[in-house]
């Protein structure tokens, strides 16, 4: 199992090896979890959406009420080029607050380089005043957070790739079990997988 950003999951599903320093992982994944839009064009046998999540603003001391309140603060936001959450935030900001480029072309804004999971550490280390994460992450880290009324939801889907073996096919079916559902719901996800 690999837990890597969606952009890298997509590349792995397309057959690209994973390189970490001198280590190169060459096996091909058999099951992936991605936003449904990133499954398009992959060699999949079947897929099914399973959870939904919405965005939240985490903050340290001063409460941040909505997306527009992020302007002028020292913040970290997910990169829309590599992550679905980043694209959703970009859309929200443009729909409700103005030009996204005006927000990010500021020395107080950190656009994630690796993954939006950089943001919790930055908030804990007081490197930023606020950041954009999934609601489930705000709950998990026990941060102060706001979920603005105008929001967007992201979904994830499990996909069984056509190169999957028999054991992977069995695992794929287990991913929609009540036990897996309970785990996701424990962390605040909304289960949509039946």
pLDDT for the residue 8: 84
pLDDT interval class at 83 (50, 70, 90): confident
171 and 133 housed in the same domain: no
- Reduced to 3 states (helix: H, G, I; strand: E, B; else coil), residue 170 is helix
Angle at 52 between CA 67 and CA 131, to 5 degrees: 30
Comparing 4-8, 86-90, 93-97, 152-156, which segment has the lowest mean pLDDT? Answer: 4-8
Look at residue 153 in the predicted model and tell me its pLDDT: 94
Residue 193, pLDDT score:
81
- Whether residue 131 sits in one domain with residue 164: no
- Same-domain pairing of 142 and 161: no
Q: Same structural domain for residues 137 and 64?
A: yes
Residue 1 has pLDDT above 90, yes or no: no
For the segment 85-101, the average pLDDT, to the nearest whole number, is 94
Rounded to whole angstroms, the Cα distance separating 99 from 77 reads: 15
Residue 152's SS3 state is: coil
Q: What is the mean pLDDT of the chain?
A: 93
Q: Has residue 115 got a pLDDT over 80? A: no
**Is 129 found in the same domain as 159?**
no
Residues 75 and 34 in one domain: no
Return the pLDDT at 116.
Answer: 80
- Both tokens of residue 104? 């990010």
**Domain containing 34: what range?**
6-52+155-191
What's the pLDDT score for residue 78?
A: 93
Q: How many domains does the chain have?
A: 2
Supply the pLDDT for residue 174.
96
- Find the CATH number of the domain harbouring 115: 3.40.190.10
Q: Supply the pLDDT for residue 7.
A: 80
Q: What is the pLDDT of residues 157-193, one digit of tens each?
A: 999 999 999 999 999 999 999 999 999 999 889 999 8
Measure Cα distances from 138 to 34, 80, 135, 168 in Å.
20, 19, 5, 32
Would 61 be classed as within a structural domain? yes
User: Does 43 share its domain with 81?
Assistant: no
Q: How far apart are CA 140 and CA 162, in angstroms?
A: 34
SS3 19: strand
**Residue carrying the six token digits 């994944």:** 29
Q: Tell me, yes or no, whether 14 and 71 share the same domain.
A: no
Among residues 128, 146, 164, the one where a domain terminates is 146
pLDDT in tens, 42-64: 999 999 999 999 999 999 988 99
Cβ pair 112, 146 in contact under 8 A: no
Q: What is the pTM of this model?
A: 0.84
More confident residue, 94 or 107: 94
pLDDT per position as a tens digit, 2-12: 787 788 889 99
User: What percentage of the chain carries pLDDT values higher than 90?
Assistant: 79
């Amino acid at each position: 199992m690999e837990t890597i950003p969606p952009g890298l999951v997509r590349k792995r599903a397309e057959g690209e090896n994973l390189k970490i320093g001198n280590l190169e992982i060459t096996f091909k994944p058999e099951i992936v979890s991605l936003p449904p839009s990133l499954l398009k064009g992959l060699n999949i046998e079947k897929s099914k959406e399973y959870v939904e999540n919405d965005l939240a603003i985490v903050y340290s001391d001063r409460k941040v009420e909505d997306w527009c309140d992020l302007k002028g603060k020292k913040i970290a936001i997910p990169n829309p080029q590599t992550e679905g959450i980043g694209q959703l935030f970009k859309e929200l900001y443009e729909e409700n607050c103005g030009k996204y480029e005006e927000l990010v072309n500021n020395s107080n804004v950190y656009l994630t380089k690796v993954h939006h999971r950089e943001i919790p550490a930055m908030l804990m280390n007081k490197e930023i005043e606020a950041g954009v994460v999934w609601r489930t992450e705000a709950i998990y880290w026990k941060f102060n957070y706001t979920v603005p009324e105008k929001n967007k939801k992201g979904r994830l889907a499990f996909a069984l790739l056509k190169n999957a073996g028999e054991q992977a096919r069995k695992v794929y079916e287990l991913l929609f079990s009540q036990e897996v559902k309970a785990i996701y719901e424990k962390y605040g996800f909304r289960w949509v997988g039946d």
